[in-house]
Each structure stands twice: as C-alpha cells, then as structure tokens.
Amino acid sequence: MPAVDTPLLAAQSLSKRFGGLAALGGVSLAVKRGEIFGLIGPNGAGKTTLFNCLSRLYECGSGDILFNGHSLLQVPRHGIAALGIGRTFQNLALFRTMTVLDNVMVGHHCRTRSGFAANALRLPFVRHEEHATQEKARSLIRFLGLDALADSRVADLPFGTQKRVELARALASDPKLLLLDEPASGLNHEEVGELGVLIREIRDRLGLTVLLVEHHMSLVMSISDRVVALNFGRKIAEGTPAEVQKHPEVIQAYLGAA
C-alpha cells in the first residue's frame, strides 16, 4: 500500500518524439490526491500528447509514469480504466449510434466481469450485474442532468450535451483520477461557468482527483489548485494559478516576446 503522501499520479521525465519533433521533452509532474490540477500551454505544447501517454494511447519514448506508486508502462491500454483512470477526449470520442444510457453503460465495462457464454445464456448473476450497471449509469445520468435524454441517440444531441455524456461515461468506470482533455472547448460562456462548478462538485462529491487540460484560462485559473504550463514539450512553470499567471515565460509563450 503506497503511503498517503505519494502523489496519485507522477510523470517522471517523460519524453515522446514523433519523427524529428519532440512533442514531450522530459516532463515531470506530480498530481496529489484530491486536487484539481490544471495543465496549460499554447497549441502544440504537448498537453494532449501527455494525456495520450498517460492513458496508453501512445507508447512514450522514455521516462516513467507512476499511478499510485506503480508504473503504468507495462499496463495494456485496456487495463488503464480498471486501475482507476477515466478520461474524456478533446474532440469527443462517443459511440455515436448508441443511446446516452448505453454509452454510459459501456463506461462501466471495466467494473463488470461476465463473459460471453454467461451473457448468451443470461445467467442470474449476469442479470444482476446488468441491473447494477444500469442503475449506476442512470444515477450518473441524473447527476449530470441528462435524465430526459437517456434513450436518445448520442449523435442527435448538441455538442455541449455530448460533452456531458462523455463525462458521465468517464465517471461510470469509478475512476480515482479523471483526465479531462479540453472539457470547455466548443462550449458557450454560460456552459463554461456551469462546467467549472460541475468539475468542483465532481471532485468534492465523488472524492476524485482531476487532471485538466484546458485552453480556457479563466476556467483553469478559477478551479485549479495547482497549474503546470507547458511549451514546446517542456515544463515552463508550476505553481498556484496566481503564480503561473504571473510567470514571465508563460506570458511570453502566450503573448509572444515583446
């Protein structure tokens, strides 16, 4: 059992190259339990690459990622969710022809065990498991205010609603750590405000840790406990939102050199 003060997630000098381009050049960061951790940086800074390394969509070049003190690099991609890491995607990766309910139920896949034969015969324990999965999904759908849409096809819903569905799907895996990749992109001003409240509520009510990649400065700065700024695959600043905002390199990265 790792000590309570080990960070929930630690990236240790993580590198990733795409051909000649170093998308990540030795980034280290540590996310503590229960905090909302913001990751910012201009386009192409390596934020999403870092996310994809964390959820094993990319094989990272060198360095290590520790979750709860254990390395993730030997874990297969489909094992990440079971460890307790849930995520959303920058450009939505919902199962478009499925209903909202089915999407969220797929999110719970890693917490259920029944195999193919048991499902073909629908043994009693499968029925039980199905029922529990559906209950779980419905309660999350309620939590996110999607009750009325549970049986609609995801592709028919507006973008902002789809983002909520994706959040519900990520939460359905009972994550300890939630990775949110630009949750505010494409949302209007009002929706961004609601999102900020929602992310805090998720952290407080479900006791999660949140790692957030976001372009929307006012959102990141208002809800994050700590922020790391990346640029060209390197960490340029780390600290509280106020500290990072005032950091000269951050200002330069966003506004350009004077």
3-class SS of residue 48: helix
Residue with Cβ nearer other proteins (113 or 189): 113
226-231, strands of its sheet edge to edge? 85-87, 177-181, 209-213, 36-40, 226-231, 234-239
Q: Three-class SS string for 173-224?
A: CCCCEEEEECCCCCCCHHHHHHHHHHHHHHHHHHCCEEEEECCCHHHHHHHC
Site string for other proteins, 21-60 (x = CB under 8 A): ----------------------------------x-x---
Under 8 Å between Cβ of 130 and 111: no
Q: Which of 21, 73, 93, 132 is close enough to bind other proteins by CB under 8 A?
A: 93
Q: Which of residues 59-78 bind other proteins (CB under 8 A)?
A: 76-78
Residue (of 69, 29, 33) closest to 46 by Cα position? 29
Is residue 78 packed enough to be buried (19+ CB in 10 Å), middle (13-18) or exposed (0-12)?
exposed
Q: Which of 8, 27, 50, 81 is close enough to bind other proteins by CB under 8 A?
A: 81
Residue 116 in the binding site for other proteins (CB under 8 A):
yes
**DSSP H or E run through 81:** helix 80-83
Least distance in Å: CB of 71 to other proteins? 19
How much is the CA Rg of the chain, to the nearest whole Å?
Answer: 19
The residue range among 13-21, 153-161, 228-236, 250-258 that interacts with other proteins, by the rule CB under 8 A, is: 153-161
Residue 134 in the binding site for other proteins (CB under 8 A):
no
Residue with Cβ nearer other proteins (108 or 235): 108
Q: Which of 82, 217, 221, 251 is close enough to bind other proteins by CB under 8 A?
A: 82
Is residue 74 packed enough to be buried (19+ CB in 10 Å), middle (13-18) or exposed (0-12)?
exposed
The residue range among 39-47, 149-157, 192-200, 203-211 that interacts with other proteins, by the rule CB under 8 A, is: 149-157
Residue 102 in the binding site for other proteins (CB under 8 A):
yes
Residue 221 in the binding site for other proteins (CB under 8 A):
no
Q: Cα dist. 186→38, 52, 87, 92, 103 in Å?
A: 18, 21, 18, 11, 21
Q: Which of 71, 73, 95, 142 is close enough to bind other proteins by CB under 8 A?
A: 95
Provide the β-strand partners of residue 238: 228
Residue 91 in the binding site for other proteins (CB under 8 A):
no
Least distance in Å: CB of 113 to other proteins? 9
Residue with Cβ nearer other proteins (120 or 258): 120
Residues of this chain that interact with other proteins (CB under 8 A) are 55, 57, 76-82, 87, 89, 93-99, 102, 105-107, 109-110, 112, 114-116, 119-122, 126, 129-130, 133, 148-149, 151-153, 156-159, 161, 169, 173
